[in-house]
Structure 1
Amino acid sequence: MFSRCVLGVAAAVWACGTAGAQHAAQVIASGPLTTASSAVYLSPAEIDAFSGLPRETIYLDAFRERLDQVMARQETVGLAVAVLEHGEPVLVYVGGEEAAGSGRPIRRDTLFRAASVSKGMSATLLALLEHEGRLDLSQPVPNELLPLPRGQQANALQLLSMRTGLPSHAMDRQMEGGQNVSLLRQRLDTLRPACAPGECYTYQNVAYASLEVIAAQAAGLDFSTALRAYLFDRVGMHTATVGAAAMRASDSWARPHRRRDRDDDGNPLPGDPDTVYDSVPAAASVNVSIDDMIAWAQAQLGTSGLLPQSVLDRVHTPQGETPSQTRRLYRLSERIDNTWYALGWRVYDWNGQTLLTHSGYLSGYGAQIYMEPETGFAYVGLWNMDGDAPWWLFPTLMDLRMVDGPADWLDQLDED
């Protein structure tokens, strides 16, 4: 029920026409915003301002209907989604509540848990520190920081790309059982290796936490402060924070709603945001709003110009194939031909399109980002409930955007 659950549904799903922007803009003008949902579209003039951005946006209208379809489900509490074309947001959708029954609507600055989407942020921080000459990611991680079986060493690139040679999710169960992460990391050398460092892909959380020490030493700041100083402030993630305590201190934050916590009528009940994964902030502990995610996508697409291209190349370059991830895609195998892992990012070959992506799951929260840097397209999504439907929004969007797809993923979910 923690980040490892991304290997289930979450990993399987990352998981135009004539109705133009004038019609889309009227959606918001036709009545008052409600707690149920709201959408903000660019005006026709704003769309015209972006060179090459198509006036025809019927796929956004159709996608808005799918978003409303998800919001109508009983298990749905809060949802925030944005779509970018040519690096600019053409749809921002927020719906539902911070907590079921609270009457406090999800806003553009409402914080959600980013979960494993945090990994790409940590990787970019390390790449920025390398860009400034503060560290070298090709150097081995010291054994006292990351002890590996048989006395082997992995460098930071291998750690960031999940190629340490450790078995998948090494010591995650023990961490979820409440054991100290620093002590668990010192026991990694007692495990049976899956391969030699650099030779295979195995997903990690406890080992990934070694990056917090590396970043702190290079920046001369604690890890959370370094994220703020070197990354969040730089790219315009103005409300992003790290950890549950910081989340509670914000003006608007979404409570988690877990599948097991229901009232007598089956309606979701709010919980608290604390998780053992706060003990591995580099892997899973960032909090973000939808506006933070838009800024994050623009920085990674390169359209905002706020990150050096050499840093983007560093984190986006695949380090190796991830056949185990490809096998877990299930229904999406007809869309995705191959997968890789870069530095804190997954790379998908989606019917010939190269997409950078990562999903995140913490009990009661979900987060996703998909990007195509070549065109400036991006999708970002955040939600505060367990449930399968939000995970199928992105493949639905891709089918609608490419026109020739069936876009029936949510219908299939109901049939199941």
Structure 2
Amino acid sequence: MKSRHATRRHLARLGLIGLLLPAALGSAAQSPGVQSTIVDSEDIDADIVEPHAIVPLSERPAVVSREDAVKPQPLMPVKQALPLAAGFDVRLFEAMAQDLVANQRVPGLAMAIVHNGQVLSARGYGITDVRSAEPVDAHTVFRLASLSKAFAGTVTGMLVSEGALRWDSHVVDYMPSLRFSDPLAAQQLTVADVLSHRVGLGRNTYDRDIERNADYHDLVQRLSAAPMTCQPGNCYAYQNVAFSLIGDVVFATSGQFFSEAVSRRIFKPLGMNDASYGLDGIQASTRWAKPHVRAGGGWTSLMPKPTYYRLAPAAGVNASIQDMAQWMIAQTGHRPDVLPAPLLATLQAPIVGTPPEMRNSSWRRDRLNAAGYGLGWRVFDYAGHRVVFHGGAVQGYRGLMAVMPERDLGIVVLWNSESGLPSGLMPTILDRAIGLPPQRWLDVDPNIEVLHAARQQPSAPASGESGGTVSNRAAATPH
């Protein structure tokens, strides 16, 4: 065991070069002429990371240099996706999800699995509110928290592709009043720095103030007093307030409010008809899942807080699992009319290493050989396979999404409680996709596979040939 961990530390020091970078390199076209508890600290199992974890570039090889990160790169040849492993059974995963909501272990949950551009499953489980038990279905809207960051990176990349700005454009060109405690730092900060969390500030700067209902614009002004840990582009530290500077850049570039730009360029073209931004957006939804927190021996529902909604690029999106299935289809390259392959290659390429992400949970410690951050996405070496990932958490809501390009697979899990139980669904599905021996990442009935095999005949095809969306099924009790 000791030698195995030593090997993993060695792999982390080597960074993502060799596995991740060759698989992900690419770029969008750039025009040369136009320049308390921090509950939304992103991944739901990241709470054990040091409060101000910084990964200076000087301590390990940069995945991509600051200069190279914004240079156009040739696309790698497109390879035929590998088939899913023989043990991949969508109905088994659905049975596991159903087991999680049994007896309200988790109030409500939604899961989508897409493969080869087809929806294998997109359905709800459990209930929207313990006080008013309506079933979760494929169109029930959840708050996405930090899963929103991928939308911010994508809409920015669209503008880069159009030549409206560049990845190496300086943020101060669009926000002339921006100031940091280091007078030169604001002048150096680029669009790519913001989207890859290389702003130079301490981790989660001013998040506690957001939780106390501080105004975003006031906090932007206060960045002039925030301590710097490095020059922009030279270290990684996860942000929400500073990440949301990209919304101001999008507005200045496009003339559209950030939420309007995402809706017009992403939601509507992809058919994400339930998606919205902000507290008003989720409350206007036909059906939406209320957030839940622990209360005595059970759950109590709350009204969502407006706090992190004030940071639209970082944490503002609401969406149903049907919406997220379409998002995964686009992110796996099957909507080139909206998200062309060069843009996806750029967004999903690692820019900076994030080794602490390798120890935030049991599946990460056991499965991850390397971790990095791109432009609104995390990029992992998952047992030798590239996985593009993001997680999110805000009071009473949690979620995970992942793309495994080599298998043309996309997965999203959303739930309306602070429970960590459903987080094991993601590694369980990834393991089955690549044929790894089963691990008990998920606390469900250990006999569920036997029960499932007895109830479901014949088993679902691994490749999803008879797939299609299971879009409106809902259940509040076990099968």
Give the TM bin, normalised by the shorter chain.
Answer: 0.7 to 0.9
2:150 to 120, 127, 146: 120
Tell me how far 1:126 sits from its aligned partner.
0.6
Identical-residue share of aligned pairs (%) = 31
Q: Is the 8 A contact 1:158 1:197 kept in 2?
A: yes
1:149 to 181, 184, 188: 181
Cross-structure match for 1:296: 327
1:270 aligns with 2:316: no
Cross-structure match for 1:192: 227
Tell me how far 1:285 sits from its aligned partner.
0.9
Q: Partners in 1 of 2:444 and 2:271 — Cα distance?
A: 38
Q: Is the 8 A contact 1:348 1:354 kept in 2?
A: yes
Root-mean-square deviation over aligned CA pairs: 2.5
Q: Partners in 2 of 1:354 and 1:105 — Cα distance?
A: 35
Q: Partners in 2 of 1:55 and 1:377 — Cα distance?
A: 12
1:228 aligns with 2:228: no
1:361 aligns with 2:393: yes
Distance 1:354 1:120, change over 3 A: same
Which has the higher mean CA deviation after the structures are superposed, 83-92 or 380-389? 83-92
* Aligned residue pair count: 374
2:274 to 239, 246, 249: 239
**CA deviation map 1:238-279 (0-9, x unaligned):** 2110001111111111110012xx2x6x23121112230011
Q: Is the 8 A contact 1:339 1:347 kept in 2?
A: yes
1:206 to 228, 237, 241: 241
Tell me how far 1:412 sits from its aligned partner.
9.5
Tell me how far 1:214 sits from its aligned partner.
0.8
Matches within 5 A, 1:62-73: 62-72=92-102
Distance 1:242 1:375, change over 3 A: same
1:258 to 285, 288, 293: 293
1:213 alignment partner AA: D
TM-score for the superposition, normalised by structure 2: 0.73
Distance 1:293 1:60, change over 3 A: same
1:167 aligns with 2:202: yes
1:401 aligns with 2:433: yes
User: Secondary structure of 1:149's match?
Assistant: coil
TM-score for the superposition, normalised by structure 1: 0.84
Q: Partners in 2 of 1:55 and 1:175 — Cα distance?
A: 44
1:111 alignment partner AA: V
User: Secondary structure of 1:405's match?
Assistant: coil
1:85 to 102, 111, 115: 115
User: Secondary structure of 1:170's match?
Assistant: coil
Tell me how far 1:296 sits from its aligned partner.
0.6
1:98 aligns with 2:128: yes
2:417 to 385, 401, 411: 385
Q: Is the 8 A contact 1:53 1:85 kept in 2?
A: no
Distance 1:62 1:403, change over 3 A: farther
Tell me how far 1:384 sits from its aligned partner.
0.6
Cross-structure match for 2:34: none
User: Secondary structure of 1:91's match?
Assistant: strand
Unaligned runs of 5+ in 2: 1-36, 50-80, 447-479
Distance 1:91 1:335, change over 3 A: same
Q: Is the 8 A contact 1:326 1:333 kept in 2?
A: yes
Matches within 5 A, 1:25-40: none
Q: Is the 8 A contact 1:169 1:204 kept in 2?
A: yes
Cross-structure match for 2:355: 323
Q: Is the 8 A contact 2:41 2:238 kept in 1?
A: no
User: Secondary structure of 1:313's match?
Assistant: helix
**CA deviation map 1:191-242 (0-9, x unaligned):** 2212111111100011111111111121111111111111211222121100
Q: Is the 8 A contact 1:106 1:254 kept in 2?
A: yes
User: Secondary structure of 1:374's match?
Assistant: helix
Q: Which has the higher contact order (CA 8 A, sep 6+)?
A: 2
Distance 1:87 1:411, change over 3 A: same
User: Secondary structure of 1:287's match?
Assistant: strand
Which has the higher mean CA deviation after the structures are superposed, 120-129 or 71-80? 71-80
Cross-structure match for 2:17: none
Tell me how far 1:10 sits from its aligned partner.
5.0
Q: Is the 8 A contact 2:40 2:392 kept in 1?
A: no
1:350 to 355, 360, 382: 382
